[in-house]
Amino acid sequence: MNTRLSFLLDGAEVPFTPGQSVIQAALAAGRYIPHLCYHPEFTPHGSCKLCTVRADGRPAAACTLPARAGLQVDSETEELRALRRTLVQMLFAEGNHFCPSCEKSGNCVLQSLGYDLEVHTAGFRHFFLDRPVDASHPDILLDFNRCVLCRLCVRASEEVDGKGVFYLGGRGVQRRLLVSSESGRLADTDIAVTDKAVEVCPVGVILRKHVGFAVPIGRRRYDVKPLRERALEDAPRGEEGTHG
Amino acid sequence: MTEPTADGLRRVAIDPLTRVEGHGKVTLMIDHVGRVVQARLHIVEFRGFEKFVQGRPYWEAPVMVQRLCGICPVSHHLAAAKAMDQIVGAHTLTPTAEKVRRLMHYGQILQSHALHFFHLASPDLLFGFDAEPARRNLSGLIAADPELARKGIELRRYGQEVIRVTAGKRIHGTGAIPGGVNKNVSREERDELRKDIYRVLGWCLEAVERVRQLYDRHARLFDRFGTIAAHQLCLVRADGAMDLYHGGLRARTREGRTLFDHVDYGHYWEQIGEEVRPWSYMKFPYLRALGPQDGWYRVGPLARVNLCDHIPTPLADHARRVFLAYGGGSAARATLGTHWARMIELLHAAEVIKALLDDPDLQGDELTVRGQPQERGVGVLEAPRGTLIHHYRVNAEGLITRCNLIVSTTHNNQAMNETLLAVAREHLDGRELTEGLLNHLEVAIRAYDPCLSCATHALGQMPLIVELVGPDGAVLGRVQRDG
């Protein structure tokens, strides 16, 4: 008797193991669902909503939706692509994502999502934030103007580094990334340049100092392979991709 | 448009200019007898870069500031990178880094000079200043001389390919980083560029010859047109040779007296002052030794070809000697001689590129160096349009706290005004405004290849309206050109 569990993603069968989310199972099966705050190494956060799919007709975040046998999931529909496009436009509008002079360009998930989803226009009036950067740390620079509130650095610092250097404070449109030190400055934390929290930032907020633009155009992460291919490469296969 | 002023003078405005990089406006002040008494080129060159790089990390500057311009971004990229070399204490780059940057720079000179001569200036020179405007543009050039237009396009493309190979992109790349470069030139890339270099050299030789013939044909006009006696400034190599990437500052007065020579540009402000005037966003640099009133000067191809002791590539140096000797030195004094000088530099750039492509250092692996960090960095080079100065201060955290840029067009600010005045006095005094006459002013400005807004680049026809109003406020003449 065949006991393989599966659901349908855009009409194609996707196998899963109990405990996997829809996005985990999809990526493990080589099926890409756009995402930003989801990272295979961390507890899903479900905040960016870019991985929104229709599951049995109802919208849901694929990163927090448990896979279930017989579920019918739609992802690559024009309706959902339009929704994701709008979400990316909103993220661009809320921060200073000036790709032309940003050292994260070519390595940036937000920028790559823009290309992937064919975001050709601004869509919204930009906020043009004016938050001072925190350059107090000798090895790490923080540019708060580019934060997309994905909380990956918060999760990495807590779950992997065990330091809790970052947290999100404020509410609504005032919500922002903050540093857990009395002074609020990064130099007064125990963060190290080798920390997971530094590596994991998908945009240009947490940067290694002095090395910007050292990788030439053509050899940057998403120059070599587009976001979809990278996401599938990074996705754990089978059981290892299950969050407890 | 025209408008009366409080002191009874009348203003003639030409707005906007065409076939220059960006937007500009010319105002001619005419007294009650119709004599032009003042000429001003207004430039909305307020770009704000000096302000908004403040608070940004130093390593971002070479990439950010190149967005000043889509025509010569490499010049800003490299000038900023040279300044940042000092910030990271890299006083001598590796041979690979130095040569990759030079290759990038001369590719930039090649593409910018080709664009200017073939696409922007040659319609005036070939068809005449009074020619029908519908014909006097790039489309007219393509119709009349498709081979010349094609060579211009191919030359520009080659220069852009050199830039792509060294900077990663044809426009707005990232090749130069503080202390060096982020890539070398692979053998495959080098071989690809080598394929066309002899053809490029041939076209550059033809371009020099063509501009010489043009000059020859119209020598009486060209010698005189907008010609002014100007002090001159440029960088020269330690042996006095032309070097567009690095050197010491040399300035000569209009009488030919050397004012200073081989000056370390790290202290440029000791020699060059900057004055602010209320009617323009552009500053007015001047040679301190001569003061703000008389210290204005000229930079760019004409100054460089005049001031260098020799050009260190044989074909261009031969062309330089022909140029300097022409008419007993008349071309070397003439504003329109700038076009000739520009083509000599075009040829020089092609020769330098050829020599660099034969240099195995381009394939080296040592790309960057670092030393003792410094708080101040000054980077100067000779951009296509002239001397370009980038000056930064960086705090201990690595953030830029101050920035001063003196771009080539700013150096030429007053020289362009003086040229306009000379042309206006000869061609507009007491005469009815015509399309051809107006274009005389544009031709004069175009000789300097000014980059006006450094952002918006208009080729071809743009709306142009000029009115001449007499002392009683009545409109005496009006010329309109539709966009």
Q: List, as one string, the DSSP characters of B442-481.
A: HHHHHTT--BSSSS----S---EEEEEE-TTS-EEEEEEE
DSSP label at residue B116:
I
Interface residue A216 vs chain B (CB under 8 A): yes
Q: Count how many residues are written for chain A.
A: 244
CA distances from B233 to A159, B43, B255, B287, B387 (A): 61, 22, 13, 9, 8
DSSP label at residue A138:
S
CA atoms of B304 and B387, how far apart (whole Å)? 9
Interface residue B70 vs chain A (CB under 8 A): no
Closest C-alpha to B383, from B184, B147, B116: B116
Residue A238 has pLDDT above 60, yes or no: no
Among B56, B74, B177, B399, which would you mutate to test the A interface (most chain A Cβ atoms within 10 Å of its Cβ)? Answer: B177
Residue A244 has pLDDT above 50, yes or no: no
Chain B: give the shortest CA distance to residue A101, in Å.
5
Contact across the interface for B398 and A213, Cβ inside 8 Å: no
Task: For residue B441, give the amino acid letter.
Answer: L
Q: Is-contact B49 B33, C-beta < 8 A?
A: no
Residue-level pLDDT at B465: 43
Range A92-118 average pLDDT: 96
Contact across the interface for A216 and B398, Cβ inside 8 Å: no
List Cβ neighbours of B31 (8 Å cut-off, separation of 6 or more): B8, B9, B10, B37
β-pairing, A72-74 with A5-9? parallel
In chain B, whose CA is at the least distance from the CA of A135?
A: B397
Domain ranges of chain A: 5-76, 98-227
Residue-level pLDDT at B278: 73
List Cβ neighbours of B92 (8 Å cut-off, separation of 6 or more): B369
Contact across the interface for B172 and A100, Cβ inside 8 Å: yes
Residue B13 has pLDDT above 70, yes or no: no
A 219-238 residues inside an 8 A Cβ radius of B: 219
Interface residue A103 vs chain B (CB under 8 A): yes
Across the A/B interface, how many CB contacts are shorter than 8 Å?
57
**Quick one: A25 exposed, middle or buried, by C-beta within 10 A (0-12, 13-18, 19+)?**
buried
Interface residue A70 vs chain B (CB under 8 A): no
Interface residue A218 vs chain B (CB under 8 A): yes
Contact across the interface for B183 and A216, Cβ inside 8 Å: yes
Chain A: give the shortest CA distance to residue B418, in Å.
38
Residue B305 has pLDDT above 90, yes or no: yes
Query: In order of start, what are the domains of chain B with their CATH numbers?
Result: 2-45+419-481 (no CATH), 49-411 (1.10.645.10)
Instruction: Give the confidence band of B28 by pLDDT, cuts at 50, 70, 90.
Output: confident
Residue B169 has pLDDT above 60, yes or no: yes
CA atoms of B79 and B97, how far apart (whole Å)? 14
Q: Which three-class secondary structure state does DSSP give residue A179?
A: strand
Residue B459 has pLDDT above 70, yes or no: no
Cis peptide before A66 (omega within 30 of 0): no
DSSP label at residue B47:
-
Chain B: give the shortest CA distance to residue A132, in Å.
7
**H or E stretch including B256?**
none
CA atoms of A202 and A216, how far apart (whole Å)? 19
Chain B: give the shortest CA distance to residue A219, in Å.
10
CATH 3.40.50.300 is held by the domain A5-76: no
Tokens of B256: 């030919």
CB-closest option in A103, A215, A217 to B60: A103
Tokens of B271: 């020699």
Range name among B117-131, B234-248, B318-332, B459-473 with the lowest pLDDT average: B459-473
Tokens of B219: 């020598």
What's the complex ipTM?
Answer: 0.93
Interface residue A101 vs chain B (CB under 8 A): yes
DSSP label at residue A55:
E
Closest C-alpha to B469, from B460, B461, B459, B479: B479
Residue B469 has pLDDT above 50, yes or no: no
Percent of chain B residues topping a pLDDT of 70: 84
Range name among B67-81, B249-263, B300-314 with the lowest pLDDT average: B67-81
CA distances from B419 to B230, B331, B438, B462 (A): 10, 15, 14, 23
CA atoms of A191 and A188, how far apart (whole Å)? 9
Range B439-447 average pLDDT: 82
Tokens of A76: 């690559």
In chain B, whose CA is at the least distance from the CA of A100?
A: B64
Range name among A174-188, B46-60, B328-342 with the lowest pLDDT average: B46-60
Interface residue B34 vs chain A (CB under 8 A): no
* H helix and E strand count, chain A: 7, 9
Mind listing the pLDDT tens digit for each residue in A122-158?
A: 999 999 999 999 999 999 999 999 999 999 999 999 9
Chain A hits for B175, CB-CB cut-off 8 Å, are: 216
Interface residue B73 vs chain A (CB under 8 A): no
Contact across the interface for A210 and B182, Cβ inside 8 Å: no
Contact across the interface for A133 and B55, Cβ inside 8 Å: yes
Interface residue B62 vs chain A (CB under 8 A): yes
B 148-207 residues inside an 8 A Cβ radius of A: 167-169, 172-175, 177-178, 182-183
Range B378-404 average pLDDT: 97
Residue-level pLDDT at B458: 34
Range name among A79-88, B6-15, B206-215, B401-410 with the lowest pLDDT average: B6-15
Instruction: Give the confidence band of B44 by pLDDT, cuts at 50, 70, 90.
Output: low
CA distances from A128 to A124, B255, B290 (A): 12, 52, 45
CA max distance for chain B: 72
Residue B454 has pLDDT above 80, yes or no: no
Chain A hits for B172, CB-CB cut-off 8 Å, are: 100
Q: Is-contact A220 A106, C-beta < 8 A?
A: yes
Residue with tokens 């938050």: A131
Residue B431 has pLDDT above 80, yes or no: no
Sheet holding B386-394, edge to edge: B376-383, B386-394, B400-406
Neighbours of B259 (CB within 10 A): 20
Among A98, A101, A137, A193, which would you mutate to test the B interface (most chain B Cβ atoms within 10 Å of its Cβ)? Answer: A101
Q: Which CATH architecture has domain A98-227?
A: 2-Layer Sandwich (3.30)
CA atoms of B135 and B130, how far apart (whole Å)? 11
Chain B hits for A211, CB-CB cut-off 8 Å, are: 59
Chain B: give the shortest CA distance to residue A141, in Å.
9
Chain A hits for B64, CB-CB cut-off 8 Å, are: 100-101
Residue with tokens 């599966």: A6
List Cβ neighbours of A155 (8 Å cut-off, separation of 6 or more): A39, A42, A43, A45
Q: Which residues pair with B477 in a beta bridge?
A: B468
* H helix and E strand count, chain B: 17, 17
CA atoms of A63 and A46, how far apart (whole Å)? 6
Interface residue A209 vs chain B (CB under 8 A): yes
List Cβ neighbours of B6 (8 Å cut-off, separation of 6 or more): none
Distance of alpha carbon B218 from its chain centroid, rounded?
A: 24
Instruction: Give the confidence band of B43 by pLDDT, cuts at 50, 70, 90.
Output: low
Mind listing the pLDDT tens digit for each residue in B218-233?
A: 999 999 999 999 999 9
Interface residue B60 vs chain A (CB under 8 A): yes
Closest C-alpha to B30, from B470, B433, B438, B445: B470
Range name among A211-215, B51-55, B97-101, B370-374 with the lowest pLDDT average: B51-55
Range A2-30 average pLDDT: 94
Neighbours of B339 (CB within 10 A): 27
Neighbours of A128 (CB within 10 A): 9
CA atoms of B262 and B235, how far apart (whole Å)? 8
Report which of residues A8 and B149 the model is more confident about.
A8
Residue-level pLDDT at B131: 77
| Mean pLDDT of the residues in chain B | 87
CB-closest option in B56, B60, B168 to A217: B168
